Chains A and B, each alone.
Chain A
Amino acid sequence: MALVLTDEQAMIREAADGFFASEAPVSELRRLRDAKDATGFSRDLWKKMAEMGFAGVLVPETHGGSGLGLVAANLIQEAAGRNLSLSPFLSTAVLGATVLAGANDEQQAALLPKLAAGDLLLALASDEVSRHAPHLIRTRAEAAGNGFRITGAKTFVLDGHVADRLIVAARTSGEDGDRDGITLFLVDPKAAGVDIKRTSIVDSRNAADIRFDGVQVDGADVIGAVGEGAAILDRVLDAGRTCLAAEMVGVSAQSFSMTVSYLKEREQFGRKIGSFQALQHRAAQLFCEIELAKSATLKAAQALDAGDTDAPLYASLAKAKAGAVARLVTNEGVQMHGGIGMTDEFDIGFYMKRARAAETSFGDLSFHGDRLARMLGY
C-alpha cells in the first residue's frame, strides 16, 4: 500500500482540522483547566464529534458508526493534537471501540451504536504500575456465582472518572507477569466495591486511580475468552499507541510551526533571531525528525488496518519515535521562545506538557525500544 493519504482520507484530515480549530482550540483547554471543570472536557463537543462521525470512526456501519479505520482515527487525533483539543476520543472511540471489536454479538449490538452516537463513554483500566507494563496484572478475578469477583487496583485510567463502563483487565489464572490468564471484563463503575479517585495530570487531562474490592461481575460481561484477554489487549494498546503517535505528530507539527513563526518575528541584537545559525540548524533538525515520525505513524496505522503480522512492530516504532520527537520539539520550542516560553500565558508550554504525558501513556522510548528489539530478535 502506498504511504500516502487517499483522497477520502485527505478530506477527513481537512474536516478534522477545521473542526477542532474552531470548536476546541487551545483557549478551550485553558478555559476548562481554569474552571476546574468536573468532566474535564465538553460533552457538547463530544456530541458534535459524534455527529461528525468521529466517535464512531472505528465502529462498523452496521452498528451505526462510520467504519473508516485507524488511518482516519489517526488523522482525527492528529488534528486534536494540533489544537490540544480535549475529548474522550482516545479512551472511547479508539481504545473502547477496539476492545469491543473483540466482543460477542450481543455485547456489540448493545454498546456500539451508543458509542457511535456519543452516548457511551468507555475507559480502559489496564495499567497497574507507573511505568507501562501491560501484562503485569495483579488484579484478580475469581470465579463466584455465575460470574467473577474482582479485586485489585488500577492506575492512570484515562477518563476513568466519567466513563459509563470500565473495561478491566484482570487475572483469572497464572502469575503476575504472564501473558496467559488475563481476562477482560465490562464493569459498571457504580457497582458495589468500585472506588474511583480522579487525578489531574500535568497536561490538564484526567486519569483515575481505581480500586476494585470484591466487585461482582456477571459471566456475560467477559469480553472474548476467559484467560485469553491479552490478545485483545495487545491489539487495543497498539491501536492506542498508534493514535497517540499521531497526536504527538500533531503536537510536534503545531508547536514547531509556532516556534518557527516566533523565530521570524522576535528581534534581538538588532536582527530576527531566526537569522542566527545556531537556531536555524536546530530548527532544521526538528523538521527532519518530525518527517521521520510522520512516516512511521502512517505506516503503523495502515498496517493495523490491514491486519499485517508486523503491525505491532510498526506500532512500537511509531510510538517510540513520535514520543521522542514530540519531547524534543516541544522542549526546543520552549527554549527558543526564551523567557516568554516559560509563561503560563503563552501556549507553547501546554504543548510540552501534553507531549510528556502522551509519551508516558502506553510506553515510552525505552519500553518500545525494548519491545522492538525483541520483535527483531535481539
Chain B
Amino acid sequence: MAEPLEEFRDETRAWLEANCPAEMRERVLEEADVCWGGRNVRFKNAAQKLWLERMAARGWTVPTWPKAYGGGGLSADEAKVLAEEMRRIHARPPLSSFGIWMLGPALLKYGNEAQKAEHLPKIARGEIRWCQGYSEPGAGSDLASLKTKAEDKGDHWLVNGSKIWTSYADQADWIFCLVRTEPDASKHEGISFLLFDMASEGVSTSPIKLISGYSPFCQTFFDNVKVPKENLVGERGKGWTIAKYLLTHERSSIGADFGTGGRDTAAQIAKKRVGTRADGALADEGLRVDLARHDIDTLCFALTMERVKDEAKAGQDIGHLSSMLKHVGSELNKSRQELLMSVFGSDGLLWEGDGAHDGDMARAWLRSRANSIEGGTAEVQLGIIAKRVLALPDA
C-alpha cells in the first residue's frame, strides 16, 4: 500500500519542482494573483498562464475527477499527497473556480452524460467561468422561497426574475441557477437546477460595492431569457436535492479554506511585528494568551478536517458534518483576522496610500466578516445541526 504512494510522491515532487514557475510559489497578495480562468481571462503574467496550462494538461486542477472529464483520476490518498507536495513548495492553486468547488461535484453526481462531457472538461481547463445564482432579494437564508421562474415553452425554458449577491456575475461566462418550474408546488418542490450562458439575451448585471471597497458581486436580472431544454440538470422540480448537495460542497470548501493552508500563523506574524522578550515569549502578554487560544482552536479544527476525511475514506457517514466544518472554519478565520488587526495596530487601519499593500489588512478583515454569512449564515448552520444532527424538535 504505502510503497506505490511513496513512488507517486517522488514523481509528483520532481514534476512540481520542474514545472511550477518561481512566481507561482509566492504568497497570494492581491486579487490578480488568483487565477479564475474563463473566456475573458486576463493572466497577471506569463507564469500564471503556463502554470494553469501545465496543471490542466495533467488533470491536476481537479485531481480526483475522472480522466475522461479532464480530471487527474487520482485516489483520495494521491490527491492528499499532491496537496502536501504543493504546500511544501508554497505552490499557488493553478485555478480558483466555483465550477471546481461546487458545480463539478454536483454534475458528477446528478448530471447526464452529455452535460458532464460538455461542461466538466471546460471547468477543468479553466475555459468557462461559472457563477452561482441561488440567493434572491426575498430569499436568502430562506432559500427555498425563491421566485425566479422558468416556464416550459416546449423547446426551451423562459426565465424571468432576479438574483442577488451573485459573486463575480459580471465576469462569469455561465451561471448555475435555481429556478421555480412548478409555481403551484410546495416550497421545496417545484425548484429546478438550470445552467445557462450569461451572454444569453436578457441577462444583465449590476455590481454591488462592499464595505471592503471591492465589488465582487452583483444583482443579476433575467428578462425573458431563453434557455435550451437540455440545460436542466436532474429531474424537473427536484432541483432542491441538487442545490443542497452543492451547498454541502460549498460549505466544506469555505470551512476548509480557513482552517489550515500554507499561511503564516497569526503568532508568527505577531512575533515579527510585536517582538519577543528575552525568554522568547511574545512581548505582549495579553495578545500571547489570545493567540494561544486561537491556535488551540485552529489546530483542533485542522485535525477535525483530517479526521472527517479519514472517516469518509473508512466508509463512515459524514454528511451531517459539513455544517459544523463550515461554521467552525468561518468563525476561526474571522477570529484570525481580528487578531491580525490587533497585531498590526494602527498599520492595520491603513486604507489608501503610498505603500504597495496599504489597505490589504483592513480589506481582508472586512472580507472575513462575510464568512459567516456566505454559503448559509452561522445561524442557519447551527439550525441545521440542531435539527438534523441533534434531532431537536421544530417550533
Interface residues of A (CB under 8 A from B): 2-4, 260, 263-264, 271-272, 274-277, 279-281, 283-285, 287-288, 291-296, 298-299, 317, 320-321, 365-366, 368-370, 372-374, 376-378
| Residue ID in chain B nearest A260 by CB atoms | B390
Structural contact, B270 and A295, CB atoms closer than 8 A:
no
| Residues of A with C-beta under 8 A to B395 | 271, 275-277
26 pairs, CB–CB < 8 Å, chain A vs chain B: A3-B303, A4-B314, A271-B393, A275-B395, A276-B395, A277-B395, A283-B392, A287-B324, A287-B385, A291-B324, A292-B297, A292-B300, A292-B301, A292-B304, A295-B303, A295-B306, A296-B300, A298-B303, A317-B299, A320-B296, A321-B300, A373-B281, A373-B282, A373-B295, A376-B295, A378-B288
Given A280-B390, A299-B303, A378-B271, 6 more pairs with CB closer than 8 A: A275-B394, A277-B383, A277-B386, A284-B386, A288-B385, A373-B292
Structural contact, B382 and A280, CB atoms closer than 8 A:
yes
CA distance A93 to B296 in the complex (A): 28
| Residues of A with C-beta under 8 A to B310 | 2-4
B81–chain A nearest beta-carbon distance, Å: 14
| Residues of A with C-beta under 8 A to B390 | 260, 280, 283-284, 287
| Residue ID in chain B nearest A280 by CB atoms | B386
- Once A271-B395, A376-B295 are accepted as A-B contacts, the answer to whether A3 and B306 lie under 8 Å apart by CB is yes
Residues 250-275 of chain B, each 1 if its beta carbon lies under 8 Å from chain A, else 0: 00000000000000010110110000
CA distance A372 to B293 in the complex (A): 10
| Residues of A with C-beta under 8 A to B282 | 373, 378
CA distance A291 to B386 in the complex (A): 14
Structural contact, A370 and B292, CB atoms closer than 8 A:
yes
| Residue ID in chain A nearest B281 by CB atoms | A378
A303–chain B nearest beta-carbon distance, Å: 11
Contact count A vs B, C-beta below 8 Å: 129
| Residues of A with C-beta under 8 A to B328 | 288, 292
Structural contact, B288 and A373, CB atoms closer than 8 A:
yes
Interface of B is mostly: helix
CA distance A162 to B232 in the complex (A): 74
Say whether B42 faces chain A, with CB atoms less than 8 Å apart.
no
- Once A299-B303, A377-B271 are accepted as A-B contacts, the answer to whether A264 and B389 lie under 8 Å apart by CB is no
Structural contact, B382 and A285, CB atoms closer than 8 A:
yes
Structural contact, A372 and B295, CB atoms closer than 8 A:
yes
CA distance A74 to B301 in the complex (A): 20
A188–chain B nearest beta-carbon distance, Å: 40
CA distance A4 to B307 in the complex (A): 7
A219–chain B nearest beta-carbon distance, Å: 37
B276–chain A nearest beta-carbon distance, Å: 7
| Residue ID in chain A nearest B315 by CB atoms | A4
Structural contact, A378 and B267, CB atoms closer than 8 A:
yes
Structural contact, B280 and A378, CB atoms closer than 8 A:
yes
| Residues of B with C-beta under 8 A to A320 | 296
Please give me the 7 A-B residue pairs with the lowest Cβ-Cβ distance, nearest first.
A280-B386, A284-B385, A369-B292, A295-B303, A3-B307, A292-B300, A284-B382
Structural contact, B392 and A275, CB atoms closer than 8 A:
yes
B312–chain A nearest beta-carbon distance, Å: 10
CA distance A276 to B299 in the complex (A): 32
Say whether B321 faces chain A, with CB atoms less than 8 Å apart.
yes
| Residues of B with C-beta under 8 A to A260 | 390, 392
A315–chain B nearest beta-carbon distance, Å: 12
| Residues of B with C-beta under 8 A to A295 | 300, 303-304, 306-307
| Residue ID in chain B nearest A296 by CB atoms | B300
| Residues of B with C-beta under 8 A to A2 | 310, 313-314
- Most chain A beta carbons < 10 A, residue from B265, B271, B310: B310
